[in-house]
Structure 1
Amino acid sequence: MSAKPRILIIEPFYGGSHKQLITAVIDRLNPTDYELFTLPAKKWHWRARTSALYFSQLIPLDHQYTVLFTSSVLSLAELIGLRPDLGSCRKIVYFHENQLIYPVREVKTRDCQYGLNEILTCLVADTVLFNSHFNRTSFLDNVQPFLNIQPDFRIKNIREKVEKKCEVLYFPIRFSEFPSRLENSLRAEGEPECLHLVWPHRWEHDKNPELLAEVLIGLNERQVDFKVTICGESYQTVPQPFERLQEKLGTKLISYGALSREDYVKTLLAGDIVISTADHEFFGVAMLEATYCGCYPIAPNKLVYPEIYPKENLYNTSNALIKMLANLCRNPRVFRTRRDKFFEMFSFNPYSAEHLLPIYLDKIKGD
């Protein structure tokens, strides 16, 4: 009789970077070593609320699990309370993001349950992995302020209990799935006639589409020559600042909306500058993918970005971003020189799956 899997993998939000991470890990595991339980990447708030209850009923009682690997979407404390038989597993939690500093439109609308679930999850876990130093630091620094929201008494000394479990392990990007800038035949040496800007982010408020619209309209009003692709997942509603953008930019907006994987890669290879306007970013897979394909990254001087990119690639204000882009768009030769200098210095190795996956496997397998 064959042995049962000893690694239990749970992902309540099985899509995007969450799915990419799980896929990268299990591709290097023996299929008989693990069992995977997932829910579709929809209705995030309900996944965070109820997935522990759902999985508690789905995961078999007759098992030989010794390791449990999951993301912070799962309320691990609830799962272990419902399934104490899983408590003896070595429990590893990966934080793609954290809810303690997630930007909300109004503070009074914040649902504190999600942040509390993450704090309790850390207390139950044996190892807590964050995808960046910014993610780890911002979480730990806000544990006590978050708990202090409670009006009538104080819970103390939680950070100290959590911090000793916390490590940073960058997200493993499979750069091998993309042609590198050196292999890119779409980027001829004599081009571009005008720079191609790319914004490859989710169309949600935390990625700050308002700032992107302001910047593009500002460039257009200054009669700067450029073209732009706005891609990324758009979900059901179009951000209000995007509603008349096509009308205002005209033929400068060459692509608008989500792209197929093939077209997405082609866009990155044809792009010159990849832009982030985010108010919320703990790692930035899309930015690094675009950069690997040869786009010059420009990002806010905050969040995770100073951890990854040189200060020359960062901006502090919307006016600074407009000025930076205008200068580069008006001087393609200067732009190419700056881009070449960037790629001479920048290393993708710290973020590559080839480098990182053996570390992940050591953590999970514990061999």
Structure 2
Amino acid sequence: MSVLLIEAFYGGSHKQLIDLLQENVEDCVTFSLPAKKWHWRARTASLYFMQAIPSSSTYRVLLTSSVLNLAELVALRPDLGKLKKILYFHENQLVYPVRKSQDRDFQYGYNQVLSCLVADVVVFNSSFNMESFLTSISTFMKLIPDHRPKDLEKLIRPKSQVLYFPIKFPDVRREHDKDPEVFFKTLLKLKEKGLSFQVSVLGETFTDVPDIFAEARKDLDAYISHWGYLPSKEDYLKVLCEADVVVSTARHEFFGVAMLEAVHCGCYPLCPKALVYPEIFSAEYLYSTPEQLFKKLQDFCRKPDIVRRHHVKVDTDQFSWAALCRKFRSLLAAEAGEDL
């Protein structure tokens, strides 16, 4: 029981990573909270874990995601502060999109900065995630009206590194931040052009679902193959394997598990030329404007063999658990280990 895994938001990619480590790394014990009420998890999870995690002399390493305020936890539990503390960033709150700038709650990003300062190792799932966080710290701290801290990036960067999120292929899984308006408006333009296509819209349903989903489901009814969450991974894989193209219209993405899973199943990817995507996909799979996305899809609808005969030039194996397991095991070793 030398590795303590703590997850304040046990769902989606956060759950996938914890489950993967629990299954494949010896001597792990996990404490988690359900993936609900994200804001409250970020605010109060440390107090819950203070009471939920029993004292033990066998803990050597602690790994948690950046949802948890690690600084609060180690202050409440000094025994945990003595462990090798690893903070894993699936996303970061300094650049996470909000509808209006005044909607951004300073506390969430501030908590992540504090967590980095007390962590021994800070790990990001992509270079985009790391650089967007570290280079935004100085600007973010200017929101403090006076007596601002200085040079925090210089304290955090030396202990920061990139370790891609590990995907256990072929197992698969797929909000205002995904910009569904662009996606559905593009499909409606294809419909207006009289083009033939079928669409599958997969994923979990959350409490706050944009109105565009209900409107699009009605307007595109004749073009829909699948709609909604598929609880069976086998069924989800089957849909991906039947598809020709996978589209992202994300306004926020720090890694993109679902896109890589779809590519692994043979889909041709179309992604924004922004965020993490240029780090993973070459230029031919990127678009800069909704108009470019529409033109690409229009061409594919008229000549589907373009994508059906295309071999996607993305080595998904480099993102697999098989390729990354040694680095994760080294990270979770009590000693410093190799440079990842």
Is the CA contact (8 Å cut-off) linking 1:127 and 1:166 kept in structure 2? yes
CA distance in 2, matches of 1:308, 1:45: 30
Alignment of 1:1-367 (within 5 A): 5-30=1-26, 33-177=27-171, 201=174, 204-261=175-232, 262-337=234-309, 339-340=310-311, 342=312, 345-366=313-334
Q: CA deviation at 1:62?
A: 4.0
Conserved 8 A contact 2:60-2:334: no
| Whole-angstrom distance in 2 between the partners of 1:360 and 1:220 | 46
Q: Which moved more, 1:119-128 or 1:224-233?
A: 224-233
Alignment-mate amino acid for residue 203 of structure 2: G
> 3-state DSSP class of the match of 1:64?
coil
Q: Percent identity over the alignment?
A: 49
- In the other structure, the counterpart of 2:338 is none
What is the rounded CA distance, in whole Å, between the counterparts of 1:237 and 1:49 in structure 2?
20
| Alpha carbons of structure 1 residues 242 and 112: separation in structure 2 relative to 1, 3 Å | same
Equivalent pair of 1:329/1:335 in contact (CA under 8 Å): no
Q: Is the 8 A contact 1:208 1:277 kept in 2?
A: yes
Structure 2: distance between partners of 1:237 and 1:70: 27
Instruction: Report Cα offsets for 1:86-108 as digits up to 9, x if no partner.
Output: 11111011100000000001111
SS in 2 for 1:35: strand
Deviation, structure 1 residue 29: 2.4
Equivalent residues of 1:24, 1:357 under 8 A apart: no
Residue 58 of structure 1: CA displacement? 1.4
Are the aligned partners of 1:172 and 1:353 in contact in 2 as well (CA < 8 Å)?
yes
Q: Is the 8 A contact 1:21 1:171 kept in 2?
A: yes
Aligned Cα root-mean-square deviation (Å): 1.4
Mapped partners of 2:160, 2:277: distance in 1: 21
- Secondary structure of 1:233's partner? coil
Q: Taking structure 1 as reference, are residues 59 and 260 closer, same or farther at Cα in structure 2, changes over 3 Å only?
A: closer
Shift of 1:239: 1.4
Q: 1:93-138 deviations in whole A, cap 9, x for unaligned?
A: 1100000000001111111111000000000000001000000000
Change (3 A) 1:62 1:352: closer
Per-residue deviation, 1:257: 1.3
Counterpart secondary structure, 2:82: coil
Distance 1:309 1:6 in 2: 37
Runs of 4+ in 1 over 6 A off after TM superposition: none
Equivalents in 2 of 1:328, 1:291: separation in Å? Answer: 16
| Structure 1 residue ranges without an equivalent (≥5) | 179-199
| 1:72 Cα deviation from its structure 2 partner | 0.6
For the structure 1 residues 332 and 62, does the alpha-carbon distance in structure 2 shift closer, same or farther, using more than 3 Å as the test? Answer: closer
> Bigger shift: 286-295 or 168-177?
168-177
Cα deviation, residue 238, structure 1: 3.1
Which stretch has the larger CA shift, 248-257 or 131-140?
Answer: 248-257
List per-residue Cα deviations over 1:315-340 (Å, max 9, x = no partner): 00111100111011101222334x22
- Distance in 1 separating the partners of 2:322 and 2:255: 18
Q: How far did 1:68 drift?
A: 0.8
Q: Which runs of 5+ in 2 are unaligned?
A: 336-340
**One-letter code aligned to 1:362:** S
- How far the C-alpha of 1:235 sits from its partner, in A, is 1.5
CA contact (8 A) 1:9 1:68 kept: yes
State the alpha-carbon separation in 1 of the partners of residues 170 and 300 from structure 2: 29
TM-superposed deviation, 1:260: 2.2
Q: What is the TM-score with the length of structure 1 in the denominator?
A: 0.88
The offset of 1:221, in angstroms, is: 1.0
1:185 maps to what in 2?
none
The answer to whether the Cα contact below 8 Å between 2:179 and 2:251 also exists between their aligned partners in 1 is yes
